[in-house]
DNA sequence: GTCTATATACAGATAGAC
DNA sequence: GTCTATCTGTATATAGAC
C-alpha cells in the first residue's frame, strides 16, 4: 500500500496501458493516423474508450507515444563491432542486415507514418531521424575512422563516404518499397547488387593493393 | 491573339474545373488529404461545394486528378541532351538541377503526399514513380550508354551506375528535407558536395587515362 | 450548371455510475 | 480506474431552388 499501487506485483493499470500502446502501434502502422479511430483502438486493446483518454489524454499524445516506442526498438548495425573481420565482409554484412531491416514491413510502414505526420507531429520525425539514419551514420563513420587509422582504408572524408555507402545500399529498392511499387524483393535476390555496391566502395577507398 | 480562348459561355464550366484543380492541388500539397475539406477547396476556388461534386464526383477522384496533374509537370533533366559537353560537366549540371528540383517545396510536399496516400490511393504512387524516378533513371541510363559507345566512359552495368549516381546526388539532404530535419540548404551550399559525388563517380567509371 | 440549405454519418472528447 | 451513454463539432454527400 505504501508502494504506490504495485501491491499486487504488477498493476492492472500498467497492464492496460501496455495493451493500449500495443494496439495503437499496430493499428496506426497498419492504417495510418486518420483511418484509425480511438474507438477502434479501444476495441483492439479490449478496454473502453474512456480508459484511453485517462491514460494518454488524447489522440495526439497516444499517437506520439506509440510511434516513439516503435522508433527505438531496432538494432541497427551489429556488424560494425567486428573489428577483426576484413572490411569487405563487414561492409557486406552491414549492407545485408540494413537492407533487410529497411525492407521489412514494419520499417516501411513506420517510415510512411512518420512522413504522413510531418506537419502535425514534427517531433516524431525528429525522433525517427535521430534513432535511425543519424545514429547509423555515426556508427558507420566511427567504424570507417578506425579502419583509416589502422591503414586498411584510405578515406579523406569519412562522413561523405559513410553517407554514400548507406545511400547506395538503400538504392532504389527502398523507395520502391515505400511507394509500394512492385513486390518487395527477397534479400537473397539483392546479394549480387550489394556485392557490386561493396566493390564500388572498396575500389574507391581501399588502400591501394592489386586485387 | 485571343486570350486562352476558353473564356466563352460554354467553357465557363471548363474554367471552373481548372480553378478547382488549381485550388485543390495547392491545398492538398499544403495541408495533406485529411486536413483539407471539400468546403475549403470550394472557398479557395470560389465556387460552391456542389460544383466540385458535379465536376469530379467525390473527394477521392478530385484528389487523384489533382495529384496526377502535378506529377507530370516538371522537366527532369535537360542537361542530359547536351552530348557535346564533357561528361563531367553534364553530370554536374544534372546533379545541381536535380537536387534543386528535389529540394523545392513543391517536390517535397508532393513526395510526402504520395506516400501518405499509398494505402488508399495506390495509383498516384505508381504515377509518381513512373513520371519521376523511373523516367529519370531511363534517361540517364541512355546517356551513359551513349558515352560508353563513344568511349568516354567505361561502365559494365549502366543501370547500376545510373542508379548509384542519382542516389548519391540525393544523399541525405533529400530525406532530411522530407522529414523536415533542419533547414533545407541552399543549392549553392551543396556544390562542393556534388563535386565530390561527380569525382567519385568518374573515378570509378571514367575511361582510364593518366592524369 | 450553379448556388443555398440540409441530411447523414462518424469522429474526438466528456459526464456520470460503479 | 474503468465502464456505458452521451454531447458536440465537422466532413462528405445530396436535395431542391434559380
Distances (CA, A) of A178 to A153, B55, B163, B184, B186: 33, 32, 17, 22, 27
Structural domain includes residue A68: no
d(CA B183, CA B162): 28
Per-residue pLDDT tens over the stretch A65-98? 999 999 988 888 999 999 999 999 999 999 999 9
Q: What pLDDT shows up at residue A184?
A: 93
Residues B55 and B112 in one domain: no
Structural domain includes residue A196: yes
- Residue B34: all three cell numbers together: 485529411
Structural domain includes residue A211: no
For B196, the closest of A160, A193, A197 (CB atoms) is A160
Cβ–Cβ below 8 Å for A128 and B179: yes
Residues B22 and B108 in one domain: no
Domain with A122 in it: what CATH number? 1.10.357.10
Residues A195 and A145 in one domain: yes
Residues B55 and B80 in one domain: no
Per-residue pLDDT tens over the stretch A153-211? 999 999 999 999 999 999 999 999 999 999 999 999 999 999 999 999 999 999 865 43
- The answer to whether A205 touches A153, Cβ cutoff 8 Å, is yes
- The answer to whether B120 touches B126, Cβ cutoff 8 Å, is no
- Residue A190: all three cell numbers together: 539483392
- Residue B139: all three cell numbers together: 534517361
For chain B, give the number of residues.
Answer: 211
Helix (H) or strand (E) holding A211: none
Residues A45 and A94 in one domain: no
Classified as helix, coil or strand, B157 is coil
Residues B50 and B135 in one domain: no
- The answer to whether B152 touches B134, Cβ cutoff 8 Å, is no
Residues B117 and B173 in one domain: yes
Q: What pLDDT shows up at residue B5?
A: 40
Give yes or no for A202 touching B (CB within 8 A): no
Count the Cβ atoms, other than its own, within 10 Å of residue A40: 15
- The answer to whether A200 touches B205, Cβ cutoff 8 Å, is no
Residues B134 and B45 in one domain: no
Cβ–Cβ below 8 Å for A172 and B137: yes
> Please, which residues have CB within 8 angstroms of residue B169's CB and are 6 or more apart in sequence?
B94, B95, B98, B99, B194, B197
Residues A118 and A189 in one domain: yes
Per-residue pLDDT tens over the stretch B35-93? 999 999 999 999 999 999 999 999 999 999 999 999 988 888 999 999 999 999 999 99
- Residue from B211, B196, B207, B206 nearest B92 by CA: B196
Hey, which residues does A153 pair with through a beta bridge? A206
Question: Residue-wise over A134-144: b if at least 16 C-beta within 10 A, else e?
Answer: eebbebbbebb
- Residue from B47, B49, B113, B160 nearest A194 by CA: B160
What residues 5-34 of chain B have any CB closer than 8 A to a CB of chain A?
31-34
- Residue B154: all three cell numbers together: 567505361
Cβ–Cβ below 8 Å for A179 and B129: yes
> Please, which residues have CB within 8 angstroms of residue A92's CB and are 6 or more apart in sequence?
A194, A195, A198
Structural domain includes residue A131: yes
B182 — alpha (psi -120 to 50), left (phi > 0) or beta? left
The rounded mean pLDDT for chain B is 91
d(CA B142, CA B30): 35
Give yes or no for A123 touching B (CB within 8 A): no
d(CA A23, CA A125): 21
Structural domain includes residue B144: yes
Q: What pLDDT shows up at residue B178?
A: 98
Residue A146: is its pLDDT beyond 70? yes
Containing structural domain, residue B40? 9-59
φ/ψ of A98, rounded to 5, equals -65, -45
Structural domain includes residue B4: no
Residues B109 and B138 in one domain: yes
Structural domain includes residue A55: yes
Count the Cβ atoms, other than its own, within 10 Å of residue A194: 21
Per-residue pLDDT tens over the stretch B108-132? 999 999 999 999 999 999 999 999 9
Chain A partners within 8 Å of B31 (Cβ) = 119
Q: Which of A6-15, A60-69, A202-211 has the highest mean pLDDT?
A: A60-69
Residues contacting strand C at CB < 7 A?
A 36-39, 49-50, 53, 58-60; B 12-13, 16, 46-51, 54-55
Domain with A53 in it: what CATH number? 1.10.10.60
Q: What pLDDT shows up at residue A6?
A: 41
Residues A100 and A186 in one domain: yes
- The answer to whether B178 touches A175, Cβ cutoff 8 Å, is no
Percent of chain B scoring above 70 in pLDDT: 93
Alpha helices in A32-157 (DSSP H): 38-45, 49-56, 59-71, 87-102, 105-116, 122-129, 135-149
Burial of residue B202 (number of CB atoms within 10 Å: 0-12, 13-18, 19+) = middle
Residue entry with cell 562542393: B192
Q: How many domains is chain B partitioned into structurally?
A: 2
Structural domain includes residue A1: no
Give yes or no for B142 touching A (CB within 8 A): no
Residues B34 and B79 in one domain: no
B94-107 average pLDDT score: 96
Please give the residue of chain A at the shortest CA–CA distance from B199: A204
Cβ–Cβ below 8 Å for B119 and A157: no
The rounded mean pLDDT for chain A is 91
Amino acid at each position: 500500500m505504501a508502494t504506490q499501487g504495485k501491491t499486487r506485483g504488477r498493476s492492472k493499470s500498467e497492464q492496460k496501458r501496455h495493451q493500449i500502446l500495443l494496439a495503437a502501434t499496430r493499428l496506426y502502422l497498419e492504417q495510418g493516423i486518420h483511418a484509425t479511430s480511438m474507438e477502434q483502438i479501444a476495441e483492439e486493446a479490449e478496454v473502453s474508450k474512456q480508459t484511453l483518454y485517462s491514460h494518454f489524454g488524447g489522440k495526439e499524445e497516444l499517437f506520439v507515444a506509440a510511434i516513439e516506442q516503435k522508433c527505438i526498438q531496432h538494432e541497427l548495425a551489429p556488424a560494425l563491432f567486428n573489428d577483426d573481420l576484413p572490411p569487405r565482409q563487414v561492409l557486406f554484412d552491414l549492407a545485408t542486415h540494413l537492407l533487410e531491416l529497411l525492407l521489412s514491413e514494419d520499417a516501411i510502414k513506420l517510415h510512411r507514418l512518420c512522413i504522413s505526420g510531418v506537419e502535425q507531429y514534427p517531433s516524431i520525425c525528429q525522433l525517427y531521424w535521430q534513432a535511425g539514419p543519424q545514429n547509423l551514420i555515426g556508427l558507420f563513420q566511427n567504424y570507417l575512422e578506425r579502419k583509416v587509422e589502422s591503414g586498411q582504408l584510405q578515406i579523406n572524408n569519412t562522413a561523405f563516404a559513410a553517407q554514400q555507402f548507406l545511400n547506395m545500399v538503400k538504392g532504389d529498392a527502398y523507395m520502391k518499397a515505400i511507394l509500394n511499387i512492385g513486390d518487395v524483393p527477397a534479400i537473397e535476390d539483392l546479394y549480387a547488387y550489394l556485392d557490386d555496391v561493396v566493390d564500388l566502395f572498396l575500389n574507391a577507398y581501399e588502400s591501394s593493393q592489386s586485387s
